A and B are shown apart, each in its own frame.
Chain A
Amino acid sequence: MRFLFKTDYEDDIRLFPHSGYVVSYGVLLAILAIAPFVLSSYLVSQLVFVCIYATVGVGLMILTGFTGQASLGHAAFLAIGAYTAAYLQQFNVPFPVYFLAAGLLTGVVGALVGFPALRLQGIYLVIATISFAFIVEEVLARWESVTHGNEGMRVKTIQLLGTTVSRDSPGFYFLCLGFLILTILGTLNLLRSPTGRAFVAIRDSETAARSMGVNVSLYKVKSFAISAAITGFAGVLFAHKLSFISPEMFTLQLSIEFIIVILIGGTFSLHGAVLGAIFLVMIDPFLTYLKDDMPGIIAGIAATFGAGKDTAMRIKDSAAAIASANGLKGAIYGLIIVLFVLFEPLGLYGRWLKIKLFFQLFPLYKRATFKRQKIYVKSERNR
């Protein structure tokens, strides 16, 4: 186990506390850099979605994970970013300009949402953000002169520095990856600044933060604006990846998916956003695999345990029926959320930390180290 001796504040806030970080993240970066030339185009495309979802996850993490303000309306911010890009594109605005414009506009909208949200807490905030998302969805469907309503809008390929970056090219992958890395670095930097400290203070106790002189309203609005802006940027990339956008893509379902991303990853660290995005995006290929290969494998197992040929065939058929049932994806989503909330509240990154600590402390690891404290709720009405 490595002990870090910190002698001053600069040591404490370093982004890379020791050389091990540089090495491991360098290796990861190298692997990601060669990925598009090695993997199949389908997997690269999934990786692009991982990057976009992870970017949104980082944005949501700032708001939910670090400022403690839940939001089920982030699909609306994504939609605003995507539609701004699609709209400005019609006037031949260059990519960097409309990319920035989309982020800025979404940030402003986020701040506007943040103001009313100041008076709201907990469940009321969740409901208010849901309502906001519904209203945005309806506006997109009805404001036909700008959004083309339910017909949707085509999004042209990116023109950058005189070259065309098509949505399936490695160039687009690097664009998304680069933006994700920039966002993560920017967020890490933000979190070690006074602003980030204020966010965390508000999350831990609003009363205490206010007593310490933190301007709670200002920082909540800031948090909303930053989170929305990052989501808006991701929206531009999302629109380009799909090359077609319509209002029914940005429903409550998508907002819930974003929450799932940070919930599964772990809501206390940026690692969680990335791990959660990988998990969520990779469910799809996994389900396809389940559909295609699982019945055969199950039948094979049954056959080795002495089932007759007919029984094996029957098992195979029923397994195939279950695997291709309509609602399977929803059921698996639901199950995953419930299981994570119940058994792995710290998410995938929490599990990784536990495994790491287990080996570091071997044989002295105690499960109680990560035990959650019960904080029997007192009435919110008296808070």
Chain B
Amino acid sequence: MLDFVQQLVSGIALGCVYGLIALGFVLVYKATEVVNFAQGDLMMLGGFFAFTFIGMLGLNYWLGFAGAVICMALFGMLAERVVVRPILGYPQFSIIMATIGLGYFLRSIVGMIWGTDDFKIETPFSHGVLRIGSLVLAYDKLSVIAATVILCTLLYLFFNRTTLGTAMRASSENMLAAYYMGIPVKRVVSIVWAISAAVATAAGVLLAPITFIHSNVGLVLGLKAFPAAVLGGFGSIPGAVVGGVLIGVIESMAGFYLPQGWKDVAPYLVLLVVLLLKPEGLFGVHTRKKV
């Protein structure tokens, strides 16, 4: 039983990581109906910025964290301006390919600048564990869970309660109509990219004590975050986190109870089953045009 709870908790922590990355997917998707395949790589780049500020320049952890988030928000805007804006309004597939290209580019540039070793950041959560009875929880994992809950709530409120959030939803629904209603769609898209890059950075920094920082971390985790986003219904902020947690729990349970090899496949099997039975995901809204 204890094993089960322990696996459950570590699965939830892992799932929150997927959830955080999936949040980035969902944000961009919600506002622009574009899927950003470079999301994981933005996370990786954020981690490297934080490493530069904290590990190399010796800044305070929180200061370095904030610096990395701000830098990455600006970088997100830049990436949007250079790569996405010129093809906004063209078929989705072009934008997907462009973000795949961006991901490739970031990965190898980071490899060239920082090298391909594993890096580590000293964080306030790096050491120490919380004991509840005989249950052992590491602080680094707890910090990820806490951050996910906070970020998810904030973003949910932002999208549903603020004017900017409503504008984002409107431009996702119908970009042209949003233009006509006086919404500055371009600025909205650029803000959304800034936010999603900032969220990705938060994920990257919180993850640093758990997975370390190396140039491929984004690819691996980003691909795991897809099932999470799809499971949650690709347009729903709480859905992303719930999907992430489900995937994380499934993965860690499969790793513990099933033979070797299932761990890596289980999330994708679940994804395929979900796509087959309920393509709109758990929280998605689905309306179909009948002919």
Contacts and interface: CB of A to CB of B under 8 A. Distances in A.
A380 B233 CA distance: 13
Interface in B150-197: 172-176, 179
A141 interface: yes
A381 B234 CA distance: 10
Contacts of A345: 87, 90, 94
Contact of A126 (B32, B96, B172, B235): B96
**Most B CB within 10 A of own CB, among A130, A327, A341:** A341
A370 to B, nearest CB: 14
B272 A128 contact: yes
B287 A381 contact: yes
A58 to B, nearest CB: 19
Given A138-B261, A379-B172, A130 B289 contact: no
A383 B271 CA distance: 22
A134 interface: yes
Interface stretch (B6-14, B103-111, B121-129, B238-246): B103-111
Contact of A124 (B33, B230, B268): B230
Contacts of A6: none
A132 B272 contact: yes
B138 interface: no
A70 B93 contact: yes
A331 B87 CA distance: 21
Contacts of A337: 97-98, 100-101, 104
B92 interface: yes
B112 interface: yes
Interface of B is mostly: helix
B91 interface: yes
A335 B89 CA distance: 21
A67 B87 CA distance: 22
Contacts of B291: 207, 210-211
A138 to B, nearest CB: 5
A375 interface: yes
Contacts of A383: 289
Interface stretch (A42-50, A115-123, A170-178, A193-201): A115-123
B91 A375 contact: yes
B130 interface: no
B226 A334 contact: no
A326 B283 CA distance: 43
Main secondary structure of the interface of A (DSSP, over half): helix
Nearest to B261: A142
B239 to A, nearest CB: 13
B118 to A, nearest CB: 15
Given A326-B111, A374-B90, A375-B89, A381 B104 contact: no
B116 A334 contact: no
A341 B230 contact: no
A120 B279 CA distance: 7
A157 to B, nearest CB: 32
Which among B94, B100, B179 has the greatest number of chain A C-beta atoms within 10 A? B100
A374 B83 CA distance: 16
A134 B226 CA distance: 13
B268 A135 contact: yes
Interface in A134-158: 134-135, 138, 141-142
A382 B287 contact: yes
B176 A338 contact: no
B137 interface: no
A376 B106 contact: no
Given A380-B33, A382-B287, A331 B109 contact: yes
Contacts of A381: 235, 284-287
A132 B179 CA distance: 39
Given A135-B268, A142-B261, A382-B287, A341 B101 contact: yes
A333 interface: yes
Given A132-B272, A259-B97, A381-B285, A334 B103 contact: yes
B104 A333 contact: yes
B104 A331 contact: yes
Interface in B39-59: none
Interface in B217-269: 223, 226-227, 230, 234-235, 260-261, 264-265, 268-269
A52 B218 CA distance: 31
A252 B103 CA distance: 13
A169 interface: no
Interface of B: 29, 32-33, 35, 83, 86-87, 89-98, 100-112, 116, 172-176, 179, 215, 223, 226-227, 230, 234-235, 260-261, 264-265, 268-269, 271-272, 275-276, 279, 284-287, 289, 291
Given A134-B268, A142-B261, A337-B97, 13 more contacts: A123-B29, A123-B92, A123-B96, A127-B271, A142-B260, A325-B112, A327-B110, A328-B112, A330-B108, A334-B108, A337-B100, A378-B174, A383-B289
12 contacts: A116-B276, A119-B275, A123-B234, A128-B271, A131-B272, A330-B111, A337-B97, A341-B101, A342-B87, A374-B89, A378-B174, A379-B172
